[in-house]
Amino acid sequence: MSSADNATIIYRLGNECEISDISTGKIYSGVIEGFANFGSFVYLNDSVKGLVHKSNILTTHKAGETIMVRVNAIRNNGNIDLEEIIITSYTIEQVSCKKRQTRLCDLKTRVGRTVHLTCQVAQIKQTSGPTIFTLVDESGTENAAGFIEAGKRAFPEVVQGDMVSVSGEVMQRGGQIQIELNDMRPLSCEEAALVEQRIENALHERAEPEDIPLLIQSDVLQLLRPEMRKIAAQIRKAVFTAQPILVRHHADADGICSAVAIEQAVVSLINESGKDYDADYFLFKRAPSKAPFYEIEDITRDLDYATRDSIRFGQKMPLIVLTDNGSTEEDLPSMKMAEVYGIPMIVFDHHHPDEIVDTYLISHANPYHVGGDFGITAGMLGVEIARLISPAVEERIKHLAAVAAVGDRSAAPERQRYLDLVAGNFPEPLCKEIASALDYEQFYLRFNDGREIIKDILFLNENEKRSRELVQLLVKESENAIEEQIRTCMPHVERRELDNGAHLFLLDVEIHAHKFTFPPPGKTSGEVHDRLCRMHAGQPVVTLGFGPDFAVLRSRGILLNIPEMVRNLREEMPGAGINGGGHLVVGSIKFVEGMRESALARLIEMMGTYPIE
């Protein structure tokens, strides 16, 4: 039997103390909490426990009974070996330990230990078992599990966005780090403000992109770098704070390339940050838009998903990124709806911008803001921004800028520079084929993102042979469909001459083109326009494809301003329901069917007032 004299000190461990606060050889007061064949489990405080082997138990005990124990050993795996001590004369000394704050990024080194931290709750998800809290601090994001009983909400006083004090044991579940919560409480206003500022300052620094040069020389892109860096920082911060990201893009080759570049960068950053294996699916969504602007139909669908995910999974409302759309007055109704729900919105686009949209945006990169034009495509912007988000993706995505350039028929000098950059693996003919395959496949994907199919077309999956075969097949089908449409349409093209001397060609695509198949009316009008331009080489040409309530404009050699024409038509013809837009010389206009003849007549008259190049 062990004994001690009158000078014996018994230590009582405070609840905030950890295993590192106990010392081998010292005697502690503990409480018996359980029994096994090989001994008794003793808690030295609420979280630090050890084992008294049956050979070291001196008397019979009951659960909940206080016992004096000496620490014989602390093993590398965190197990504590204890032996019972019987003492008749002693003094108690309280061990009070200041909570050591752990950062989320350090949890992997604390498996099996109790940790304390202050952080923000980014998401709360109730499962059929525990409540899962997604926690964010200045260093990273991890999950914590609180359990009362199956399916019942743990710590109901904590809500999404709260700054909280957390304690719990670090465990590894299915290869993922998780805190099993002992306690979680919202911080006081004063404490919360300090923690929020600490996290915000650190996140601002962490989200700042690397200072890397552009892929090519470009005065316009160089002037846009500050805004592109700002956008990259905002997207990086969203990833670090577990905020879902939704990218909306025009459903053509340029829009797809711009959005997929961002997709690749965000997924790369999510994986680098150690998120759950499927985090890239519930933290990132990419969605095509039929029109080159953010339609009410689009925002309604996005809000439906966002609000349901917020209620069902406890997610934050998303950061919306618009690319190859989002710059014009046509986007305003959707932007106003997003504002009602407090959804932040970013735009990078190359359509001629209307200043008013910036009221609803936290960032807006557009070549027109720095003296450029639509020749700097959304795909070029997307690739450069994606590199800032995650430089690791550069080699995978740099060809997307070249595909976007040829797909959107850019005439800017940057087009050739991006093509030269990837000419070894992606010569210009292949880039054109990829762009054609994208347009064709997206027509049939409609509102779906077709994530893996699009990656195959863009050579972003591992199977290069499959990508080449798929692109060749889609290009052949696309060409056959276009040729069939053109053979049908060309005999019905009507020729006129505008007042400024430009050739005007009109085609009623509603009655002289196949419906509900590829190519759609806009693409059909463009293909007809290309053939007419070749037939009238060196001369100004305008092609107007129209239906019951719309008109699609394509032009060459005439300095049109389609957004301006739309505004003037809307003012002059209040009963025509005029709206639309696009680039200065390429775009579309909508009107009510009963005003078609008047709207088209006035539109043609307006086009005749613009100068010839």
Total number of residues shown for the chain: 613
Q: Which amino acid is at 254?
A: D
Q: Do domains 9-95 and 104-206 have the same CATH topology?
A: yes
**Going by DSSP bridges, is the β-strand pair 586-590/579-582 parallel, antiparallel, or unpaired?**
antiparallel
CATH for 9-95, among 3.40.190.290, 2.60.40.740, 1.20.58.100, 2.40.50.140? 2.40.50.140
Average pLDDT over residues 243-252: 95
Residues sharing a CB contact under 8 Å with residue 548, sequence separation 6 or more, in sequence order: 510, 593, 596
pLDDT at 4: 45
- Pull the structure tokens for residue 197: 């500022």
The C-alpha angle with vertex 269 and arms to 265 and 275, in degrees rounded to 5, equals 135
pTM for this predicted structure: 0.79
Sorted by where each begins, the domain ranges of the chain are 9-95, 104-206, 208-424, 493-607
Q: Within 10 Å of residue 612's Cβ, how many Cβ atoms?
A: 12
* Tens digit of each residue's pLDDT (9 = 90 or more) over 479-511: 999 999 999 999 999 999 999 999 999 999 999
- Pull the structure tokens for residue 149: 């009983």
In the 3-class helix/strand/coil scheme, how is 219-285 assigned residue by residue? HHHHHHHHHHHHHHHHHHHHHHCCCCEEEEEECCHHHHHHHHHHHHHHHHHHHHCCCCCCHHHHCEE
Q: How confident is the model at residue 6 (pLDDT cuts 50, 70, 90)?
A: low
φ/ψ region of 516 (left if φ > 0, alpha if ψ in -120 to 50, else beta) reads left
Residues sharing a CB contact under 8 Å with residue 15, sequence separation 6 or more, in sequence order: 45, 46, 47
Beta strands in 451-528 (DSSP E): 494-497, 503-508
Residue 173 has pLDDT above 90, yes or no: no
Are 429 and 365 in contact by the 8 Å Cβ rule? The answer is no
Residue 136 has pLDDT above 90, yes or no: yes
Q: How confident is the model at residue 3 (pLDDT cuts 50, 70, 90)?
A: very low
Average pLDDT over residues 342-362: 95
DSSP assignment of 295-330, as one string? -HHHHHHHHHHHHHHHHHH-PPPPEEEEES---SGG
Residue 2 has pLDDT above 50, yes or no: no
Average pLDDT over residues 359-371: 97
CA distance 12 to 27: 9
Query: What distance lies between CA 539 and its chain's CA centroid?
Result: 45
* Tens digit of each residue's pLDDT (9 = 90 or more) over 310-324: 877 777 899 999 999
Q: Which amino acid is at 425?
A: N
Q: How confident is the model at residue 78 (pLDDT cuts 50, 70, 90)?
A: confident
**Average pLDDT over the chain, rounded to an integer:** 92
Average pLDDT over residues 181-187: 92
CA distance 601 to 583: 21
- Pull the structure tokens for residue 238: 């969203």
* Class of domain 493-607 as given by CATH: alpha beta
Average pLDDT over residues 166-185: 90
Average pLDDT over residues 412-420: 97
Are 261 and 397 in contact by the 8 Å Cβ rule? The answer is yes
H or E element, residue 438 = helix 428-445
CA distance 256 to 584: 21
Average pLDDT over residues 284-303: 92
Using DSSP's 3-state secondary structure scheme, residue 154 falls into coil
Residue 279 has pLDDT above 70, yes or no: no
CA dihedral of residues 482, 484, 489, 491 (deg, nearest 10): 130
Q: What is the largest CA-CA distance in the chain?
A: 115
Nearest to 331 by CA among 296, 290, 280, 372: 296
Q: Which amino acid is at 137?
A: D
Q: How confident is the model at residue 576 (pLDDT cuts 50, 70, 90)?
A: very high
Residue 149 has pLDDT above 80, yes or no: yes
Are 170 and 107 in contact by the 8 Å Cβ rule? The answer is yes
Buried b (16+ CB within 10 A) or exposed e, 142-165: bbbbbeeeeeeebbeebeeebbbb
Nearest to 334 by CA among 366, 290, 378, 297: 297
Phi, psi of 120, rounded to the nearest 5 degrees:
-115, 145
Are 172 and 154 in contact by the 8 Å Cβ rule? The answer is no
Interhelix angle for 253-272 vs 394-407, to 10°? 170
Using DSSP's 3-state secondary structure scheme, residue 595 falls into helix
pLDDT at 95: 82
CA distance 604 to 284: 44
Cis peptide before 519 (omega within 30 of 0): yes
165 pairs with which residues across the strands? Answer: 118, 185
* Tens digit of each residue's pLDDT (9 = 90 or more) over 440-478: 999 999 889 999 999 999 999 989 999 999 999 999 999
CATH for 208-424, among 3.30.365.10, 3.65.10.10, 3.40.50.10490, 3.90.1640.30? 3.90.1640.30
* Class of domain 104-206 as given by CATH: mainly beta
Are 381 and 370 in contact by the 8 Å Cβ rule? The answer is no
Which residue carries 């911008």 as its tokens?
353
CA distance 545 to 409: 19
Q: Give percent above pLDDT 90 in the chain.
A: 76
Nearest to 288 by CA among 333, 319, 257, 313: 257
pLDDT at 1: 40
The C-alpha angle with vertex 244 and arms to 239 and 249, in degrees rounded to 5, equals 105
pLDDT at 309: 82
Cα dist from 253 to 291, 292, 515, whole Å: 13, 12, 22
pLDDT at 88: 83
CA distance 551 to 576: 13
Q: Within 10 Å of residue 35's Cβ, how many Cβ atoms?
A: 14
Residue 598 has pLDDT above 90, yes or no: yes
pLDDT at 276: 55
Burial label, 569 (beta-carbon count in 10 A; 0-12, 13-18, 19+): buried
pLDDT at 278: 59
Using DSSP's 3-state secondary structure scheme, residue 601 falls into helix
